Amino acid sequence: KYLAQIILVGAQVVGRAFMRALRQEFAASRAAADARGRSERPQSAAASRITGISLQEAQQILNVSNLNPEEIQKNYDHLFKVNDKSVGGSFYLQSKVVRAKERLDEELRIQAKDEKEKGWKAET
């Protein structure tokens, strides 16, 4: 009887500690996501949320430091071909390469739109 009570109390203590740690981790994750979102432009932050990948991560995956469309396409083609499953590559890595390309393409689209809007404002 006492052994069962000790086990029950111990399980409750461990369960509460686990839940507290889980809540703290969730709060820290949310704070980091909010901070990352504030550092980016609103459209760029929305693109990161939609694609599930940040601009910096996409640049790291495709190994590009600036948003040069030719360099992005060249690196994308190479990494996509190297990670093709038919040549022994990884489908997971190949999908990360595709998501990174989509994210960078979206950022290029956002930049082009911003430049176009600035051009209209300068004319008026």
Given this model, what pLDDT does residue 113 score?
86
Q: Give which of 3, 103, 4 is closest to 44, Cα–Cα.
A: 103
pLDDT (tens digit per residue) in 29-69? 887 776 665 555 556 666 666 667 888 889 999 999 888 99
Given this model, what pLDDT does residue 121 score?
62
What band does 122 get if pLDDT is binned at 50, 70 and 90?
Answer: low
What span, in angstroms and rounded, lies between the C-alpha atoms of 116 and 122? 10
Residues 6+ away with beta carbon under 8 Å from 79: 61, 62, 93, 94, 97
Quick check: 124 pLDDT over 60?
no
Given this model, what pLDDT does residue 52 score?
76
- Angle (CA) 120-123-124 rounded to 5° is 90
Given this model, what pLDDT does residue 114 score?
81
Q: Does domain 40-123 have CATH number 3.40.50.11540?
A: no
pLDDT (tens digit per residue) in 78-101? 999 999 888 888 999 999 999 999
Residue scoring higher pLDDT (21 or 119): 21
